[in-house]
Amino acid sequence: MTQHKHQPLKVDIDMLKRYDKPGPRYTSYPTAPQFTSEFGATQFREEIERTNRLENPADLSLYFHLPFCDTLCYFCGCTMLITRNRERIEEYVQYLIKEIELVGSMIKGGRKVAQLHWGGGTPTYLEPDQIRRLFDAIRSNFEFHGDAEIGVEIDPRGMTDGHLDALRDVGFNRASMGVQDFVDKVQEAVNRIQSEELTRWAFDGLRERGIESINLDLIYGLPYQTEESFPYTLERIIDISPDRLAVFNYAHVPWMKKHQQVIKEETLPGAEEKLKILKYTIERLTSGDYVYIGMDHFAKPDDSLTEAYFNKQLYRNFQGYSTKAGCDLYALGMSSISQLNEVYAQSVKELPEYYSAVGAGELPTERGYRLNRDDHIRRHVITRLMCDFELSKSDVEAKFDLAFDTYFADALRPLEPLVLDRLVELQDDKIFVTEMGHLLIRNVAMAFDSHLSKMQSEGTPMFSKTV
């Protein structure tokens, strides 16, 4: 019953409507609102030292946060800083290099980097020379596996051939480029003017330089998007033919991201229109060359993400779906979140505090979380459901020495409506998510989240809607 490579997916809009409620994206479990200031730099350092003493310490995944952008996209939900001040960016690069030296000196045991990602903000807003210096510092402080996946987020606006050359020379082998929408009226309303020609120039430039896998990002739910307008963007994108495609649901959270208040509610497509756009997108992509992986991700049948998906080797971390399981993720730069097996640690979000900690030779950790046994069990269940879309109860029982139906009685009850709606099937040993359930996988995961009901009763809207 798993989706076959060339079988188009049929989307039921009424069903989506019924389950469209706020919920986490589960790039971590527990989710970030659970992190506390009781876990700080001292606790994180101790945990790093403990992992150094393990017999088989995990490989490394490194994330670098480069927050700067040239202009503000009104929809932006990322942690970014708008600046035209090049000295400000250089100062950040210098402190980031200090943090690289600090973290590099703490991690022992001959561990190598299996995966690296530069995210933002806009990493390509750095000058080519800064890209080279930053990567030199990384290579001087960390050893890499020969087949490491090395990825970067790209905004083609402001990029030059010099940037493309620098990305190739330092060793990036995958890239993700923001597009969002090609329709002029939409681009004007969100203050992001990016021609198709420019996007193609950057895309071809990456291909010519041998970048193996290129992802493009689109967003649905932006101002003035309609069921009639979005196919235009989608057809242009299919023609460009990226290896992967992310089609994000616009997260409109003006109470958290104040600048989104510039976007007038009346210009946004209504829930029904949004769902029609989503339905069209999924049906169009899966009837063509793409496999629907889950949540917002699509990939070509021969892409490593699709291969990992079919082989049940997908994994999820703060960057979304990934093919490298079992790494310790060290995140460097302001606001970034590290994920080791036992702990999460988030860095300070303000630059002065980041500079003062790193300048003093200390980890810039602001808050974090140590997982307890229940968190480990639920994280395993949620990760496997989000990645494999099925779960073997006996595997969980053997791994954690528990009786599944008793332990998860509290989760099986909220699953009942999903079972009646055929989003989930309960087989003897398996919890199986149907094709339609893939779209609502956040709702399935929410049933297993023991922190959620507490957060909901506190009444603060923390998450965007699920579809």
Ligand X SMILES: C[S@@+](CC[C@H](N)C(=O)[O-])C[C@H]1O[C@@H](n2cnc3c(N)ncnc32)[C@H](O)[C@@H]1O
Shorter beta-carbon distance to ligand X: residue 16 or 66: 66
- DSSP string covering 195-255: -HHHHHHHHHHHHHTT-SEEEEEEEES-TT--TTTHHHHHHHHHHH--SEEEEEEP---TT
- For ligand X, the nearest residue by Cβ is 178
Task: Please select the residue that binds ligand SF4; options are 13, 72, 81, 198, rule is CB under 6 A.
Answer: 72
Stretch that binds ligand X, among 75-83, 135-143, 374-382, 404-412 (CB under 6 A): 75-83
| Rg value, the chain, Cα | 22
Query: In 3D, which of 172, 299, 174 has the Cα closest to residue 241?
Result: 299
Shorter beta-carbon distance to ligand X: residue 99 or 155: 155
Bridge-based pairing state of the strands 291-294 and 213-220: unpaired
Task: Please select the residue that binds ligand X; options are 24, 30, 120, 294, rule is CB under 6 A.
Answer: 120
Q: How near is the Cβ of 62 to ligand SF4 at its closest, in Å?
A: 20
Task: Please select the residue that binds ligand X; options are 181, 217, 243, 388, rule is CB under 6 A.
Answer: 217
**Ramachandran category for residue 224: left, alpha or beta (phi over 0 → left; psi -120 to 50 → alpha):** left
Helices in 228-270 by DSSP H: which ranges? 230-240
Q: Which does 72 bind (CB under 5 to 8 A by kind): ligand SF4, ligand X, none?
A: ligand SF4
Q: Which does 219 bind (CB under 5 to 8 A by kind): ligand SF4, ligand X, none?
A: ligand X
Residue at token pair 């603060």: 460
Task: Please select the residue that binds ligand X; options are 76, 131, 137, 206, rule is CB under 6 A.
Answer: 76
Q: Which does 149 bind (CB under 5 to 8 A by kind): ligand X, ligand SF4, none?
A: none
The CA distance from 130 to 359, in Å, is 20
Query: In 3D, which of 241, 247, 249 has the Cα closest to residue 301?
Result: 241
Shorter beta-carbon distance to ligand SF4: residue 9 or 78: 78
Task: Please select the residue that binds ligand SF4; options are 15, 62, 80, 206, rule is CB under 6 A.
Answer: 80
The CA distance from 128 to 147, in Å, is 24
Give the count of residues interacting with ligand SF4 (CB under 6 A).
11
At 270, which amino acid appears?
G
Window 247 to 306, contacts with ligand X (CB under 6 A): 248, 250-251
Shorter beta-carbon distance to ligand SF4: residue 72 or 198: 72
- Beta partners for residue 346, in sequence order: 337, 367
Bridge-based pairing state of the strands 315-317 and 320-322: antiparallel
Contact residues toward ligand SF4 (CB under 6 A) are 69, 72-73, 76, 78, 80, 120-122, 155, 178
